[in-house]
Amino acid sequence: MKRTEEVCRVPRSKEEARTSYNRLSKAYDILIHPFEKKQKQAGLDCLAANPGEKILEVGFGTGNNLLAIARSVGEKGAVAGIDISDEMLRIARRKLEAKGLAGNAHLTRGDATQLPYDDNAFDAIFMSFVLDLFDTPDILLVLQECKRVLKKGGRIVNVSLQKADTLSNRLYESLHNAFPAMIDCRPIRAGRSLEEAGFTVVEERDLSMWGLKVRCVLAEKGQNAE
């Protein structure tokens, strides 16, 4: 495989990631969220959460997506979220409480490679700029766990930087390799990874951010999936 086709690795530990996002939490909505808002909204549109559904967000950050999902599922539905950062969880919970949406929200700090939920528990799963933070071997573990906790026929939406042999992507990956602690998100092939985990890809939408390719992928867990 050519070097330009390889997905960059993520060298930092999960504890280092937790510490980093704890530090970033207070500034996240100012420094990061405005630049990802459009792409995340495209993912939420693709998710199309329905009243009464039970939906999990993996890597909920400061809770902006959770707010939108909680409103969509309504009082008869429920939202759950897992994130590695204690401080992100605290901010997200405070936002949900301020909007009166905490009653049907269940947030957990933890590791997405070991989801603390029952099999077939959720109608849908949402991830945005999260899967591309995991080291390459962990991507499949995360998606296998997502498949386990998703109901048969359930759907998953993932938004992430997309691996592409373009000048902007190559420059960005060079910066990631040089400063992995600061530039931790890197382009991946989410659609291929979802298929490897046993999902059926239904739709892929191409987006962009800072000249980088972003892809929104909608996939389903088959009715006969284990």
- Residue 145 · residue 115 · CB < 8 Å: yes
Task: For residue 40, report the phi and psi dihedrals to the nearest 5 degrees.
Answer: -65, -40
Give the pLDDT confidence of 149-167 residue by residue, as tens digits.
Answer: 999 999 999 999 999 999 9
Hey, what domains does the chain have and what are their CATH numbers?
Answer: 9-220 (3.40.50.150)
What mean pLDDT, rounded, does the chain reach?
95
What pTM, to 2 d.p., does this model score?
Answer: 0.95
Average of per-residue pLDDT across 59-80? 98
